[in-house]
């Protein structure tokens, strides 16, 4: 496993990280969660990403129990805040940041979060209030570094502009061979400001593994076949996308790589990427994905990938789900 610096912070993270969206505490049983987490440590993964909204606290609680078996300084722990946790709890107000962070700390059974991320922007709250609250929790020792997920350039810049506030060190966008929207504006902007990418869905939720075939029902044990875990996959399940993905198979074979390793190595070719977040339901998936760290693709392979996916790549900036544009000031 190789490791990369997270933005201009003092945090170092594994190139492959383990995430818990749609899985731990929700789609998977407790013993599977524990087996995958222990496999991650065995594979050299030291970076774990979750959110308060995953399973409405259940994912954090599951990891709180499991990670308590490991020395706290042996891993980097990230969680997020924004989404609705109750009828009255939502957003990035000062009150919510303090309240939700304390609740996350309790569930995760830890005194501090290494990376606290704003899961989506909150244009209903003044950016000054949000950044001041985030700075407060850093100064209290409850948070080491700050990040965001799926913010617009305008919103990121507004956060950077708040006087005296702690700066962002990470961005968490969707990014993979098909979904290249961050390349247009986000990655260049972040690279200029010392902000690294921690990317989610590097395998397009499993589609880039090549297991879904055009015109066929998804395998019964796959994410796409699960009501709990497959609801966000529509954009990748069209026949034209699945046909393009099948054109990657001979490219992977010629490179001596699995489809998973090809997809993860493609993401990690970008120097502004600090880590690619994988989702796994079985320990062997964790070990297999972790082995992608350090693989380098040749220029010819990269060119062949572009040709194979021509016509299905998303390359222009796109708003993610649940994102509101705009910035509110005091």
Catalytic pick from 24, 54, 175, 212? 54
* pTM over 0.85, yes/no: yes
The span from the CA of 63 to the CA of 169, in Å, is 24
Residue 230 has pLDDT above 50, yes or no: no
In the chain, % of residues over pLDDT 90: 85
Predicted confidence at residue 23, as pLDDT, reads 61
pLDDT in tens, 169-217: 999 999 999 999 999 999 999 999 999 999 999 999 889 999 888 766 6
- Per-residue tokens: 222: 């796959």
Measured at the alpha carbon of residue 147, what is the angle toward residues 92 and 80, in degrees to the nearest 5?
55
Q: pLDDT grade, residue 31 (50/70/90)?
A: confident
Pick from 224, 225, 289, 232: nearest CA to 262: 289
Half-sphere exposure of 151 (CA within 13 A, CB side): 28
Predicted confidence at residue 221, as pLDDT, reads 56
54 among known catalytic residues: yes
Predicted confidence at residue 246, as pLDDT, reads 96
Residue 140 has pLDDT above 90, yes or no: yes
Integer CA distances (angstroms), 144 to 41, 136, 140, in order: 22, 11, 10
pLDDT in tens, 289-329: 999 999 999 999 999 999 999 999 999 999 999 999 999 99
Half-sphere exposure of 90 (CA within 13 A, CB side): 11
12-31: average pLDDT? 81
Q: pLDDT grade, residue 227 (50/70/90)?
A: low
Q: pLDDT grade, residue 225 (50/70/90)?
A: very low
Residue 29 has pLDDT above 80, yes or no: no
Architecture of domain 3-206+270-295: Alpha-Beta Barrel (3.20)
The mean pLDDT of the chain is: 93
């Amino acid at each position: 496993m190789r490791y990369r610096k997270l933005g201009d912070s003092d945090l170092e993270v594994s190139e492959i990280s383990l995430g818990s969206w749609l899985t731990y505490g929700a789609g998977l049983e407790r013993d599977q969660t524990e087996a995958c987490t222990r496999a991650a440590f065995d594979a050299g993964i030291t970076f774990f990403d979750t959110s308060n909204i995953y399973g409405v606290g259940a994912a954090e609680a599951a990891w709180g129990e499991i990670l308590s078996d490991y020395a706290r300084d042996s891993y980097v722990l990230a969680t997020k805040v924004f989404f609705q946790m109750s009828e009255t709890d939502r957003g990035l107000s000062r009150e919510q940041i303090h309240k939700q962070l304390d609740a996350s700390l309790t569930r995760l059974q830890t005194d501090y979060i290494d990376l606290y991320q704003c899961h989506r922007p909150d244009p209903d709250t003044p950016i000054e209030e949000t950044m001041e609250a985030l700075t407060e929790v850093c100064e209290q020792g409850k948070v080491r570094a700050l990040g965001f997920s799926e913010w617009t350039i305008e919103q990121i810049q507004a956060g950077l502009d708040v006087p005296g506030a702690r700066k962002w060190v990470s961005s968490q966008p969707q990014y993979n061979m098909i979904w290249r929207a961050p390349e247009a504006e986000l990655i260049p902007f972040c690279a200029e400001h010392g902000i690294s990418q921690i990317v989610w869905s590097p395998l397009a939720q499993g589609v880039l593994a090549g297991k879904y075939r055009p015109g066929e029902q998804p395998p019964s044990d796959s994410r796409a076949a699960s009501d709990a875990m497959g609801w966000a996959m529509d954009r990748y399940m069209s026949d034209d996308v699945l046909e393009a993905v099948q054109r990657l198979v001979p490219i992977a074979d010629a490179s001596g790589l699995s489809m998973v390793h090809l997809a993860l190595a493609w993401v990690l070719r970008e120097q502004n990427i600090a880590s690619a977040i994988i989702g796994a339901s079985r320990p062997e998936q964790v070990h297999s994905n972790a082995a992608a760290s350090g693989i380098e693709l040749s220029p010819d392979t990269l060119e062949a990938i572009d040709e194979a996916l021509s016509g299905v790549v998303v390359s222009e900036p796109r708003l993610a789900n649940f994102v509101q544009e705009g910035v509110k000031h005091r």
